[in-house]
Structure 1
Amino acid sequence: MSGFSTSWLALREPADRAARDAGLIARLTEALSGRKRLAIVDLGTGSGSNMWALAPLLPGPQSWLLVDNDPALLEQAQDSSRTLTDRDGRPLVARTMLRDLAQPGWEDVLARADLVTMSALLDLVSADFVATLARAAKGAAIHATLTVDGRMACLPEDSLDEAVFAAFRHHMDGDKGFGPSLGTRAGEMAASQLEAEGFRVERAPADWHVGPDQPSLLVALLDGWIEAVRETGRLPEAELSRWAARRRAEAEAGSLELRVGHVDLLALPL
């Protein structure tokens, strides 16, 4: 499930597109090239970014099952699918399913899937969720992109950066509705669980580099960090306010760059 607003998903889309690892996508495409047709299940669809990124590169015919708990986002994603084609120019078949992935039994959506995709989801879910995914998706490929891994940086640097980042990581590792989240350990822990279930797993960096050329995303990301750190109570308010004031001034002056570490994961059945 996405759990994110349409405006946030639109803001992050250019950064997501630039960050996705092309090498893993190429290996996924090669692994699926012999299929006569592809059944793809996209978990936590949001506005459909995985479909837009992958459909034109993959063979077909393709049928997509778009799964989310937000009906408005599902409608937007399905509408956008009408202009997409596979790599051979054939139109897609896209269906939607309204489903809360935090509820038991969600895994039935994976029946008969050749490929399972997700974006910015693994760091929100629990180890139990990944274990269920690994069992239910046996025989399918899994492509999980843009998982936060805890690496963060601000340029220029500030003496409070590490305290802010540590508090944000603590927030990331909290329960996001699925039980104890994998958080910043998600890439490593998901890889281990999938390998234990018989998948061959590769990972690659998929980092965001957000600078003055993306001012709206820069400010939204900075505000999100500040709010999350404040919720943890792990940094004195005076120190957080000083850090926030400096960073907002730098953003307004066009001198701030934020870096956010993500990892992409590809799991192929052995």
Structure 2
Amino acid sequence: MGCDGGTIPKRHELVKGPKKVEKVDKDAELVAQWNYCALSQEILRRPIVACELGRLYNKDAVIEFLLDKSSGKPLGKAASHIKSIKNVTELRLSDNPAWGGDRGNTKGDKHDDLQRARFLCPVVGLEMNGRHRFCFLRCCGCVFSERALKEIKAEVCHTCGAAFQEDDVIVLNGTKEDVEALKGRMEERRLRAKLEKKAKKPKAAESVPKLDVSEGPSKVKAGKSEEPSLDSREKKASPAPRSTAASGSSSGKAGKPAGAATKRSIADSAESEAYKSIFTTHSSAKRSKEESAHWVTHTSYCF
């Protein structure tokens, strides 16, 4: 029964039991949610934005995600509900004066307190490390603890004074129940926005006049052609009184029609002499036979 050396195997070495479920370290999970971007898994750096489900992202990571049109996006499920930059809100965070950052631990011989948060609630002073529930407002982006919202009840923001409603309050990194409730509110909000957008659009059927089907396309074209003809008639009829007045004052002949225009000679006009010399009525064009040349041009086609 023994192996080499006379050892006796135990039961847990021979019989394999059920695997133990690995427990997730809560502290590590809180650090990942509150200190790292949910999309790029990088450290959160300003500007920091939050979606309608309460997840934290780096703004540049969200922009790169929206510009990337490829189908196989890395970690695309975490931001699949983000369709445009309007679906995220830039957060106004208050710095924690007790947080010194990671500059002092350059050699790696210093203990970093992961529970020390970079930001805190400006109203109550609680640190935003995941131990306390925090929320933000969609209307202004201000972040404060849920305790401040419950203790100091008001219809305006505690930090900037902007008015808000219950629908504008979104819990950051909430539980599964919170995420499901926020998802339902997000779908209702987007559906309401679509309906309002359709209602604002002017209907094309109301702007275009209704035409009878029996008339056909020929009458429609005829109706369109009548409009410019009326305008052209008005333009032709407008200079008529000027011409009649001019003809009646200058000639006074009964044989000519009233709408006929009078002829003017270029020689009597006020143009320059260089312009008048182009025409045959100018004095330079009237030469005597002696001044004219004694040669005749001809072509070979004449013979």
- For normalisation by structure 2, the TM-score amounts to 0.20
Task: Name the structure with the higher helix share.
Answer: 1
Higher relative CO (Cα under 8 Å, sequence separation at least 6) belongs to 1
